[in-house]
Amino acid sequence: MNALHDQFVAEARELIQQATDDLVAAEREGFSDERIDRVFRAFHTLKGSAGVVDLPLMGLVLHAAEDVLAAIQAGRIGATSTLIDPLLASLDQVASWVDDFDADQVLPPEAGATARTLAERLQAILDGAPSARAGRVPTGQPSADALPAWTRGLIEAQVARLRLEPLVMHYSAFSYRPRAGCFFDGDDPLALVRRVPNLIAFGAELAQTPQTLSEVDPYECNLRLDGIAAATQAELAAVFRLVPDQVSIVEVPPGALPMPPVASRSDAATALARSIIQEQLEVLRVGGEAGSFGGRVGSVIRVAVGALRYGGREDLIDAVEQAGRAAVAQADATMLHEVIDATLRSLATSAQGAASPDDARSDRPLSRSHGRSLRVDEARVDALVDLAGELLVATHGVAHLARRAEAEVEGHVLANALRERKEALERIAGSIHEAALQLRMVPVAQVFRSFPRAVRDLAQQLGKDVKLASFGETTEADKTIADLLFEPMMHLIRNALDHGIETPDERRAAAKPLPARLTLRAARAGDRLIVEVADDGRGIDPQIVRRKAGEKGLMAGDELAALSDEQIMDLVFAAGFSTATDVSAVSGRGVGMDVVRETIERIGGRVALKSEVGVGTTVTLDFPTNIALLRIMVVETGGQLLGIPMDAVLETVRLTPDRISRFKNNDGFVLHDRVVPICALAQLLSLPASKASRLERLVVVAEIGGRRTALEVDAIRERLEVVLKPLQGLLSKARGYAGTTLLGDGTVLLVLDLKEILP
């Protein structure tokens, strides 16, 4: 795919999403002047872009949608579900075609039939009648009785000359009605028909019969061209791909066609030439002013000569030209009539002639204005972020050398200069890395804008009245986080709609307002991204959670009884847990919530749930703003330096013996009214324990999966921002380690994956 196609795909997806958002909003709030203008511009731009990349079928659907939007602008129709549904359906189909074009550079074979069906459905809105073909185009071979009248008429008119190809399984008929101004569009209807493969029958007639010669406009096309070809519908659709709105194509069953015994292949070129010349006799018969005679004869001669050349019968041209000159000189067309009749008889008896070659498809000249922004391939941005990260790591080495210089030659001018340069280098490297990271930052609106349509469709499916509200859409997050955010949020939204929010009758009985409210909110909290999914539904009863957990055997009865309501709510994220009495086809409250937590924690995030019976439920997702740079705490234990991700660290505490108690078989202490068990990090990693006696124990309190644990360490060294590298080679499958990074002195530091090592 070339750069132009890439740009079309990217812009088309943006415009489709924008138009979808506006249509969903218009259904509830109505079309303001600004909104209808914005939607119309989106459809119009899409149609123009489709024309640039040679996708006329897409343009056909979008043009029909434009007509509907123009009627809205004029105030003839209003925004209702009956109107919005087909407009959204057209956008869905266009989005599917954009995906097909992105993958294969062409639309699927059935695109022509689908485009005409959608266009008819949209046109039916303007006509005020339901579309007779609102559904998908039926497949399969039609019966002869079901063929359109123009097809049956063509068969009857051409039966004596119809020639079928032996062993051909597919026949299709077309009716091509060029636009009156097609010549000014650069179209040549007859040249287009010449491209039809294996043309076996052809007919041309006036689309509208003029009453007098003065009504004839030579600059307008007033023809209807019908034909039958030994070809599939897809092959004919490819020929007429640039004028899909001007042609109808139907499949013709072989049983509907006469089967005369014919040994030779039909001469399509000769048949077309005969049809064209036959029509010239009608031109000669048209009466008119005396001054127009010469012009009519000249036109007849030029057309007849062109048809004979195309049919390969140059030997008949001289006779026609001489008869034409004589007719003009004598102001009498009798001899010309006779010569043309003789020419038609000669063509009828001729069995010679080359089949019309398939002309190569001409490409439209492509032109497009420059985009509104610079699009850069994601791989290039990632490479820049990696290099900036390496630069940042290199500054740690310079910082280490500066500290050594100061320690060894304290007060030396060179040491002071090195320290100053080190600080400047750190500032520059930090700025470069921050700027590179900003290239990966995208607004969460890219995720949020996918949900209004989903909420609308699900609410209609469930028979619920729900209003979606979004806040903080301009908040930015790393693109990796934004990409991973959609799936867990969609699951939470489906849960809220299906099992959280009540039906309209239930809300009225509970004196709760309609519509129900579903809220999406994003905000920054320091270097963290906070995303909330909240509903004002029935909420989750902690007693039901407690009972369900006991029934599923998640915990012993006495342990469940000892848990607070907040801790009980955390069980909703246990694998296979559900508070719903019936699991619907849409969702089940709690089913798959373990996957939500797993997905969020995979990128260093945390999940929390808060619910109140009868008031609603709020699920909070807490992420690092970006994952290209990891903040770690360097700790020492068992004689080793190790890194602990700061995302998991809540606080560090020095414990005196009086604060430590024995809980069952493990030491622990109370922190903020919660019991926190103590685990020796050296013991978890099978490292030698420290032999030094201490009056205080140093612990790092970490939270993983909603559970808090105090990791006992020997010392805390420093906090760093590092670029994490995954383990490779023989260590790639080692568990308990998130990756490695380099310290300033070149030492490789292992960064722990606490989820893997904590009991």
Q: What is the pLDDT of residues 324-333, one digit of tens each?
A: 888 877 777 7
Number of domains in the chain: 5
Please give the average per-residue pLDDT across 684-709, as a whole number: 80
pLDDT tens digits, residue range 386-444? 777 777 767 767 777 777 777 676 656 777 777 777 777 777 877 787 777 777 788 88
> What pLDDT, on a 0 to 100 scale, did the predictor assign at position 365?
35
On whether both 184 and 265 belong to a single domain, the answer is yes
> What pLDDT, on a 0 to 100 scale, did the predictor assign at position 626?
63
Which one-letter amino acid corresponds to residue 463?
G
Q: Which residues contact 728 (CB under 8 A, 6 or more apart)?
A: none
Please give the average per-residue pLDDT across 226-234, as a whole number: 82
> What pLDDT, on a 0 to 100 scale, did the predictor assign at position 660?
86
On whether both 639 and 499 belong to a single domain, the answer is no
Three-state SS at 267:
coil
pLDDT tens digits, residue range 641-680? 999 888 788 889 988 888 888 877 788 898 888 888 888 8
629's tokens:
């740079």
On whether both 718 and 662 belong to a single domain, the answer is yes
What CATH number does the domain containing 652 carry? Answer: 2.40.50.180
CA distance 383 to 730: 25
pLDDT tens digits, residue range 258-289? 654 433 334 566 777 788 888 877 777 766 56
On whether both 319 and 404 belong to a single domain, the answer is no
On whether both 541 and 495 belong to a single domain, the answer is yes
Q: Which of 331, 277, 271 minimizes the C-alpha distance to 300? A: 277
pTM score, two decimals?
0.52
On whether both 581 and 605 belong to a single domain, the answer is yes
* Residue 368 scores a pLDDT above 50: no
Residue 356 lies inside a defined structural domain of this protein: no
| Residues 724, 630 contacting (CB under 8 angstroms) | yes
| Residues 311, 356 contacting (CB under 8 angstroms) | no
On whether both 148 and 295 belong to a single domain, the answer is yes
On whether both 261 and 238 belong to a single domain, the answer is yes
Residue 373 lies inside a defined structural domain of this protein: no
CA distance 145 to 622: 65
Residue 509 lies inside a defined structural domain of this protein: yes
Helices (H), 53-188: 56-73, 81-104, 111-127, 149-158
* Residue 295 scores a pLDDT above 70: yes
pLDDT tens digits, residue range 3-16? 667 778 888 888 88
* Residue 185 scores a pLDDT above 70: yes
Final residue in a domain of this structure, among 417, 440, 463: 440
Final residue in a domain of this structure, among 68, 100, 127: 127
> What pLDDT, on a 0 to 100 scale, did the predictor assign at position 169?
57
Residue 358 lies inside a defined structural domain of this protein: no
Q: Which of 403, 457, 338 minimizes the C-alpha distance to 743? A: 403
On whether both 428 and 457 belong to a single domain, the answer is no
On whether both 588 and 706 belong to a single domain, the answer is no
Residue 382 Cα distances to 239, 441, 444, angstroms? 44, 12, 19
N-to-C CA span, the chain: 51
What CATH number does the domain containing 45 carry? Answer: 1.20.120.160
* Residue 207 scores a pLDDT above 70: yes
Range of the domain at 595: 443-624
Beta strands in 458-509 (DSSP E): 466-471, 476-478
> What pLDDT, on a 0 to 100 scale, did the predictor assign at position 264?
39
The residue ranking higher by pLDDT, 208 or 97, is 97
| Residues 90, 399 contacting (CB under 8 angstroms) | no
On whether both 605 and 714 belong to a single domain, the answer is no
Judged by phi (left if over 0) then psi (alpha if -120 to 50, else beta), residue 514 lies in beta
Residue 598 lies inside a defined structural domain of this protein: yes
Final residue in a domain of this structure, among 65, 92, 127: 127
| Cα of 730 vs its chain's centroid, Å | 40
The DSSP bridge partners found for residue 710 are 678, 701
Residue 362 lies inside a defined structural domain of this protein: no
pLDDT tens digits, residue range 92-149? 888 888 888 888 877 887 777 788 788 878 877 776 644 333 333 333 344 444 566 6
On whether both 452 and 590 belong to a single domain, the answer is yes
> What pLDDT, on a 0 to 100 scale, did the predictor assign at position 613?
86
The DSSP bridge partners found for residue 652 are 700
| Residues 555, 567 contacting (CB under 8 angstroms) | no
